[in-house]
A = this chain, B = another copy of it.
């Protein structure tokens, strides 16, 4: 009987191999050859799943967002107060563990790389801005946001803080460790809430 290989699973394994190559060698090292080797596949097999390197790139970017979205949705099923829920959701995307660190690092590598080629590649939208908008609207609906807060400015500030902390935690993990990332997020949310 022929071995049954799940098509999507195989695509995910290749995308994850691409992530690991990027983490190790940077986007410069993310050649089709290196990715195939990391995935334990021949070049031909890789090309069966992804016709071009850009197809793989976009798939690997989408997979980062898909994984994060699933974890954020799982947080909704926990019994948490509105304030705890908001903090828990943010902690699913900032680098506080291996999973979030890897995702953020490859995401920034992707984004920096595709910046110079957005005319030829279908770059996925950054979902963190949208999440930030929802979280702050949620805090306001629950009347938790201090009256001195301006919603638009708070969105810009939290969005900036999330990606700024992420960059710093990736570039300098010894200085900005997971505990400090977590404390800064909690400190910020506490500062804008009653």
Is residue A163 within 8 Å, beta carbon to beta carbon, of the partner chain? yes
Binding site secondary structure of chain A: helix
Among listed A47-55, A67-75, A106-114, interface-contacting one: A106-114
Bin chain A's interface residue count.
35 or more
Given contacts A112-B109, A115-B26, A153-B187, contact A164 B160 (CB under 8 A): yes
Which residues of the partner chain B approach A143 to less than 8 Å between Cβ atoms? none
Pairwise interchain contact A160-B161, C-beta atoms closer than 8 A: yes
Pairwise interchain contact A108-B112, C-beta atoms closer than 8 A: yes
Pairwise interchain contact B150-A159, C-beta atoms closer than 8 A: no
Minimum-distance CB pairs A-B, first 10: A164-B164, A160-B164, A26-B116, A163-B164, A160-B165, A153-B187, A156-B184, A160-B161, A112-B112, A161-B161
